[in-house]
Chain A
């Protein structure tokens, strides 16, 4: 299952995270190892407070871990709990994020929300517009391209958010409870999108979810508890 360095989306060793200190100290991660191949989509399960979001922000290079190291795109990005790359540049080139809320920019249309992600990464406005249109088409919301977020349904917004996450052909997509605000039918449609994206676009996808009914769509499911990934991963059928 473990591929060569090129085919790995992310590899993490001994990640720990401590919030606060003294009486208020919280051990959110207690030594997490993780390895995800490109083209693989995994579910991250576990009770609230298990450390799932914390793991995602650390793998997403938003927060540094207290200790541990991470390799991504063939090079070390975290060593001894310190970033070794320009994280903003790394995020815009290699990563996509999706959250429970779509977090679209309200003053940009659906197309512009995707386009801005590409322009931030140095694409010309022309190319970015073209690419955004294509992505919206791929996700089935092309007819909504010129609508503002407040005129889109929750499911449509989440599709635009996925399109935005895909904008720069990321090697890693991180989704934190992306379907929590959707009904089960639409939730499953979005989960299906992640599977499609992972398989067709060769991205590694980690989805934090509580929805066990959609687990059949994932290649693997990891269960977290008390800052640790449980010994034997529960493999989906």
Chain B
């Protein structure tokens, strides 16, 4: 006869409630671990997805994620000219927060190097990739935008043509993808008045300067679009991502580019290191700490529950001892309930998590390795937590029945 099961059967409601409580607690532990994983994964997601060999950024910065980096748009062409470089693309990314249908919508606008890059590397779950150079966007599912949604950004209106999933910026903001030119248009959008004032200012500056006075064409140019002025380059980009040729020496190429006085170069690994070790380091450690504390709290709560369950049975345990039961009978009663409680709680945590985690605002990434680890921890907690109850049960004397 299994006394542990008999007790549970008789006090089923109470046991079930306890298991649910422990299950929810373990769900929090599981979720906290998942958020931790999600945070680290989100942080490195873009670096992993873009899968570049080298990142070229503004000299002495740790950009483009950990801090702002601005390099001239022509860096892309200069890099492409370096021997053994297979491709180089501009990387433009910035986060905006706008209103859409009355609610704030925070998103990171990522530029794709049209026409080489139409978003082939994005995991689409609906719609298509970009098919024209302007006014189309691919949005992450978590933004809640549907295909065909139109959104005004800057002076233009963009249409959602594709939906991707799990694309979050290093800070966890959902991403949208447009062509590079569009992303710059959004980023450097100025009101008409600002443009007019800027042109007036240019004209004033030019007319106070000799060549401007003698060359009327210069003044004409100064009041036109800035793209028509050779001295004013196109807007800068955040970084340039580089792929090298198969079999090429990464260190060699990196050293060649790093020797330029205006840029710094990171490998993808170094970039990941900057993100995990620097940018998300505090949140990561905070979450890790929370997870550790939650595990300790769960262990204490389970120990108290199991101790209380044992106290409730102390008289029955004394009766069993009086009848001559071996200690193992009593230990099994407590230990089996502890392990069962842990196992059922774990199951509830897992199942409840399947429902709850997807609606968490940040991505909760549950990996098998963590599941196994937590299972082991729960088992250890169950056994440890039951020790308090077992210790109390061992102290019971059979003559407690008699008094």
B319: chain A residues within 8 A (beta carbon): 103, 105
Whether B399 pairs with A57 at a CB distance below 8 angstroms is yes
Of the 9-residue stretches A92-100, A209-217, A222-230, which lies at the interface with chain B?
A92-100
For window 27-78 of B, CB contacts with A under 8 Å fall at none
A89 within 8 Å of B (CB atoms): yes
Whether A112 pairs with B402 at a CB distance below 8 angstroms is no
Task: Evaluate whether A88 and B1 lie within 8 angstroms (CB atoms) in the complex, with A103-B315, A106-B10 already known.
Answer: no
Complex Cα–Cα for A176 and B401 (A): 11
B323: chain A residues within 8 A (beta carbon): 91-92, 97, 116-117, 120, 164
Smallest beta-carbon distance B67→chain A, Å:
64
Complex Cα–Cα for A105 and B321 (A): 12
Q: Interface residues of A, CB < 8 Å — how many?
A: 30
Whether B1 pairs with A62 at a CB distance below 8 angstroms is no
Task: Evaluate whether A53 and B402 lie within 8 angstroms (CB atoms) in the complex, with A88-B325, A120-B329, A148-B10 already known.
Answer: yes
What residue of chain A has the Cβ atom nearest to residue B326's Cβ?
A88
Interface string of B295-322 (1 = CB under 8 A from A): 0000000000000000000011001111
Whether B315 pairs with A91 at a CB distance below 8 angstroms is no
Smallest beta-carbon distance B14→chain A, Å:
11
A107 touches which one: B6, B321, B324, B399 (CB < 8 A)? B6
Interface string of B378-403 (1 = CB under 8 A from A): 00000000000000000001110110
Whether B315 pairs with A125 at a CB distance below 8 angstroms is no
Whether B315 pairs with A120 at a CB distance below 8 angstroms is no
Complex Cα–Cα for A97 and B320 (A): 11
What residue of chain B has the Cβ atom nearest to residue A94's Cβ?
B324
Task: Evaluate whether A88 and B321 lie within 8 angstroms (CB atoms) in the complex, with A106-B316, A115-B1, A148-B10 already known.
Answer: yes
Determine which residue in B11, B316, B324, B329 has the highest number of CB atoms from chain A within 10 A of its CB, and name it. Answer: B324
Whether A92 pairs with B324 at a CB distance below 8 angstroms is yes
A112: chain B residues within 8 A (beta carbon): 1, 6
Complex Cα–Cα for A91 and B319 (A): 12
B98 within 8 Å of A (CB atoms): no
Smallest beta-carbon distance B12→chain A, Å:
10
A99: chain B residues within 8 A (beta carbon): 401-402
A79 within 8 Å of B (CB atoms): no
Task: Label chain A's interface by main secondary structure.
Answer: helix
Whether B325 pairs with A92 at a CB distance below 8 angstroms is yes
B205 within 8 Å of A (CB atoms): no
B7 within 8 Å of A (CB atoms): yes
What residue of chain A has the Cβ atom nearest to residue B324's Cβ?
A92
Interface string of A50-71 (1 = CB under 8 A from B): 0001000100001100000000
B1 touches which one: A92, A125, A148 (CB < 8 A)? A125
Whether A116 pairs with B322 at a CB distance below 8 angstroms is no
B397: chain A residues within 8 A (beta carbon): 62
Whether B322 pairs with A119 at a CB distance below 8 angstroms is no
Smallest beta-carbon distance B252→chain A, Å:
75
12 A-B contacts (beta carbon < 8 Å): A57-B399, A62-B402, A63-B399, A89-B324, A92-B323, A93-B324, A103-B315, A107-B10, A107-B11, A115-B1, A116-B323, A120-B320
With A57-B402, A108-B6 known, 13 other A-B pairs at CB within 8 A are A62-B399, A62-B402, A88-B326, A89-B324, A91-B323, A92-B323, A92-B325, A93-B324, A103-B401, A105-B319, A107-B3, A120-B324, A120-B329
Give the interface of A toward B (CB within 8 A). Answer: 53, 57, 62-63, 88-93, 95, 97, 99, 103, 105-108, 112, 115-117, 119-121, 125, 128, 148, 164, 176
